Structure 1
């Protein structure tokens, strides 16, 4: 017949005749409303798959998802549809289709709630890393830290975040990530307990030195002296401290640090046992001569008592420029001047003899270590 389609459409049951024809798909495609006939067929999917443009027919159907799910190459058809995301959402197992698609990330990003689908995917971390703005999706996730840990370069994502510290503190090994960051000090200073992290870091001293207020952190540490001694310029930090003497006395070699300080005499006078440190210094005489204020109670609590404890005081006095002048300034008893090599010369000195009220001839009588307090000059 010239126009069999015209006769088919006028029949009561054209589908019955169509199915028995050699090439029913050819006739179906030329009909006015092929979708109406497709729905009524026994195996519509078989006919749809063999048609020239099955997607066009699928999209016009009321329930295309029902047919898509049964098709052999449903993923291929989904990808070619105008709005595949709309159909994906209505599917029973959209994740299965997403994972088998050529570019699932493209479809994921167009979805309203991609995180919901991402979390259920097998290789979600791989897809997250390929997305345009993975940080935006990470923030909205229930457990972003678990995804961050599994990513290839978590530090890169952490540094781009607004509040990376919040995520860092929740991680099992935050120190490992901190040390690999570009500017770990910036993040350390913003943390709740930076000292806890500093103590566990490999190069903690280096980070301490670069901090804005290292002294503040040093004070709160368990063993600040250990860190101070390893620092490049410990004296600089010591001098800025409120109570440097407390730290100095606990150091292995306090004398070494004292000698390098700007005003070691000031610190010496405030120490518990200044004489002990004075005697170990390279040039104690140099410090003794500068200690004019220390002879009175301005700095030392009890200078006369402390100086009397010196093991080799006479030796130091003999090397001084004017030992008797120093002696006379002290509020203490006279000791055995005969033990000094140059005691006779000192006693003959007019300023000295007149001040202490002794004649040069009586110098040999001074044999005891300490004599009663010297008489006032008359």
Structure 2
């Protein structure tokens, strides 16, 4: 749809991909379907600043700092930063004149949505996790609507507020039929009938997942016959590859194992694989669901409010994942878990159960809920 003059919206959220990519997906939906002109406000030193360099959406960066887990003097310094960011946001919103602002979480949303409240701009928040973080809980009191990925989130928000189960908004590259599995496998030089396992510890990587998958390379490749794509995390790549013996190096040479610090083509990788081992960030597990992928979930035990375990348990409850907590991991845990899974049965389960979490299309719901605020 062509852009409509004055139909501006602002999306905000940041510091992690779990907040950034849903914000970008919502911006895409409202731009493509309702002709909105999106703008992004985030932290100038956050991950979003780097991601938005490759996007056509105008980006405005704020100077922000957390108020928990730091010294008293650090809290005072960051409080002054955040107050300054409130006034910067207030000024930016006066220039952009958005008809709607949508926050997807992270403390960057605080000053931006507070400024929107005083500007009397309609506010919507989107919660990705089962249990919301403190920012979204606080901001829900000034929001017109609360969009949720999981229905279980409703009890954490104020009674009387409009709550809408949208599911997780995903960018077009993660939609199920954007590429055939055959072409995706060929991208990594795999054969069409190869079984492929993806292993990732999230955007920062995970030592515990890296260590356990390395212990199981041999059995998973030689006994179960999988090809493996292992994403170590950028800062952990050297640590991992420096431990490789000659057998592991030969797996790489024979294209039975791909090891990388970061995957630029994650959308293609997810199309290529048959099963995944991963952390339990909401955005990623919803990408797995959208592509009908069963997963072995290893929730980050230090996640705020243990929200990753709660996300993973929702999937396990409906048969879409197997959960292994960090403290339960032993040598060859991943090999043993994969041995117990029958892929043919898993594919049937996934096909029948993906609709349990979401009924109506996420895109349709977001469009419906947004259009009343736009021309």
Q: Please give the TM-score of this superposition, normalised by the length of structure 1.
A: 0.16
Q: Please give the TM-score of this superposition, normalised by the length of structure 2.
A: 0.16
Which of these two proteins has the greater Rg computed from alpha carbons? 1
By percentage of residues, which structure has more strand? 2
